Each structure stands twice: as structure tokens, then as C-alpha cells.
Amino acid sequence: MPRIAWIEVEDATGELAEIYAQTQEIYQGRVPEIVRTMSLRPDFMRSFLDMGKLHFSEGALTYAQHELIASYVAALDKCHF
């Protein structure tokens, strides 16, 4: 049971359902828990996902390198997500 309330994918309607559908396209049919924690604020969720697209875009580092760094930091912080 999560400590943060969220709306499940199957219960989403309107803007949230649209955002979930777009997120499922990006994440091979799933919506990560870290994204679902923002489901009560779809406006914030959309901004978070837009920031992620920019952050993980190819540039000085590849997408894979960004992911490796994010995973390493999450492990250091003992972050569930």
C-alpha cells in the first residue's frame, strides 16, 4: 500500500487519463510509481514529464548515460523509485 495517495491508471479520467496513456507509450505500457504519485495534480505531472523529456534528451550525454546516473543516485539514496 503506497503512503502517497494516487489515482490508478484504470480509474483515471479526462486529462489524467490522457497523460497516463502518453506515459504508457513512453514506458512500454506501464506508468511508473513515481509518476503516479503526482496523479492528484495532472498539471504538475505533465510539467514533470516535460522536464524529464528535456533532461533525458540526447546532448553531452546519451539517454543511457542519463539513466545510469539516475539509477546510481537512486541507489545511493536508497530510493524505492
Break the chain into its structural domains and give their ranges. 9-76
pLDDT digits 0-9 by tens, 34-55: 899 999 999 999 999 998 888 7
How would residue 27 be classed by pLDDT, with cut points 50, 70 and 90?
Answer: confident
Q: What is the mean pLDDT of residues 14-36?
A: 93
**6 to 38, 45, 52, 54, 58: CA distances (angstroms):** 7, 12, 20, 25, 31
Residue 81: the pLDDT is 63
For position 41, what pLDDT does the model report? 96
